Amino acid sequence: MNTTEAYYQLVRQAVDRNIRSGALPAGTRLYVSALADRLGVSRSPVKRALDILENDGLIRRDGGMGWVVGDAPADEARPNLHLFDLDLPDSGSAVLIKPGWERILQTVADELTDCIPFGIWKISETELCNHFGVSRTVTREVLTRLHERGLIAKNRASHWIAGPLSAQMLDELHDLRRLMEPLALRRGAKQLERPHLLAMHDRVQVALDAGGQPAPDDLDAIEVDLHETCVAPQPNQRLAAALPALRLSIVINRQFTRHVARHQEGALLTEHRLVLDHLIAGDADGAAAALRFHLDADHARARERLKVLSIFGGPDGDTAPYLTRVV
């Protein structure tokens, strides 16, 4: 989902699409509160979206009785919109869109972590609002949650500050991650499908056969395979919520492959393959042990690589406009 779009635009697009597809047939009465309830959003973006849709000529106002789809006569009954099979962006969920902060939280966290190996960054709340087209309320919520994750803090001048990513921070996160991620893998191992695992194994093998220097995007995919997809099926919600923040060190491998000409990932790939071998064989305990071995080895590498990154001024590529390097 495009995180930079405002709420009312998402509502407008969703209603527009469902009218054009016939999922919301001509003559259907649309009330602000009923539509807001169906889409799981608040009333004000719905009101704004309906005004625009009226301007577009897709709906018409019906006095004090809300809006009516198309030109056909209005249905008599007030419809139960929950009975309509609508095509909504986040189809797995009952609601149209996640709360504003949830939509942008991970994006902001990722953009921040890409920067913090290189020093200290100041976050502009105003720029954050402008960049994502969200309100102050939303950005405050995001910043509060990033603060809870330990990613940002307020300095003496009361500015939000991120970084630098320190070896100490890596150590502390690793202590927790080496306990929790193997646990998650062991719990979810049975649900992983064999063809899926074989495909992951194949990606690792291809990278190894090609000399162990995968392109940045290929390495990203390999990391996601093991550290996100393979641990996802486990049922513990609190564990699931804790894991993303512990994976901070992945940013180091990611930035390292982008900065350093001849990075060699042979060891990382061999360790990944070992975990996948255990999973394919149906050995959940072995996979968990192999994952812990990999996390320990990768931690040692991350510490060394952080030192290399410390000689560079900033992340590869553009930094987000709401971040300014302090030192």
Partner 1 sequence: MVRQLRDRVQNDLGFEIEFVLLDSTQGLQQVVTRPESFDIYHQWHTSDLIWTARCIQGIDLNRLDAGTRIKAAALARTGAGRNMHTIFDRLFVQDDGRLGVTPTDTIAVMPALHGVDGFAWRPERAPALRRGERESWGWLLDPRWAGHVGLIADPVLGMIEAAMATEVQLGEPFGDIGNLTIEEVDTIADFLIHKKKIGHFKGFWNSQAEAIRLMQRGSVTIQSLFSPAVSRLRAQGMALTVASPTEGCRGWHSDIGISAAAEGAALDAAYDYLNWWSNGWAGACLSRQGYYFIFPELARAHLAPEEWDYWYDGQPAARALPGLSGEITIPEGHRREGGSYRERMSSARVWNTFMDEHTHIARRWGEFLSA
Q: Which residues bind partner 1 (CB under 8 A)?
A: 117-120, 163-168, 259-264, 266-267, 297, 300-301, 303-308, 310-312, 327
Nearest approach, Cβ of 162 to partner 1 (angstroms)? 13
Rg, C-alpha atoms of the chain: 24
Q: Tokens representing 25?
A: 């047939």
For the CB of residue 117, give the shortest distance to partner 1 in the complex, in Å.
7
Q: Which 8-state DSSP code applies to residue 150?
A: T
**Angular region, 320: left φ>0, alpha ψ -120 to 50, beta rest:** beta
Reading phi first (left if > 0) and then psi (alpha if -120 to 50, else beta), residue 40 is in: left
Alpha-carbon distance of 293 to 315, in angstroms, equals 29
The CA distance from 44 to 188, in Å, is: 41
Question: Which residue, 157 or 311, has its beta carbon nearer to partner 1?
Answer: 311
Q: Please, what is the minimum distance in Å from the beta carbon of residue 213 to partner 1?
A: 9
Residues near 213 by beta carbon (within 8 Å), at least 6 away in sequence: 262, 263, 264, 265
In this structure, what DSSP letter does residue 313 have?
S
Q: Give alpha helix (H) positions in 67-166.
A: 100-115, 125-132, 136-148
Nearest distance from C-beta of residue 246 to partner 1, angstroms = 20
Is 145 or 258 the residue whose CB approaches partner 1 more closely? Answer: 258
Per the rule left: phi > 0, alpha: psi between -120 and 50, beta: everything else, 275 is alpha
Residue 36: both structure tokens together? 């807001």
CA distance 55 to 116: 46
* Least spacing, CB of residue 180 vs partner 1, in Å: 24
CB of 69 or CB of 250, closer to partner 1: 250
Residue 298: CB minimum distance to partner 1, A: 12
Q: Which is nearer to partner 1, 165 or 276 (CB)?
A: 165
Contacts of 36 by beta carbon, 8 Å cutoff, 6+ apart:
42, 43, 46
Query: Which residue, 130 or 213, has its beta carbon nearer to partner 1?
Result: 213
Tell the smallest beta-carbon distance from residue 120 to partner 1 (Å).
Answer: 6
For residue 312, the minimal CB distance to partner 1 (Å) is: 6
Q: Which residue has the tokens 């390495």?
A: 219
Q: For residues 74 and 85, give the distance between their C-alpha atoms in angstroms, rounded to a whole number.
A: 20
d(CA 187, CA 156): 44
Give the DSSP H/E element, type plus range, for residue 252. helix 250-259
| Closer by beta carbon to partner 1, 83 or else 311 | 311
Instruction: Give the residue with the Cβ less far from partner 1, 77 or 311.
Output: 311
Minimum gap (Å) between residue 293 Cβ and partner 1? 12
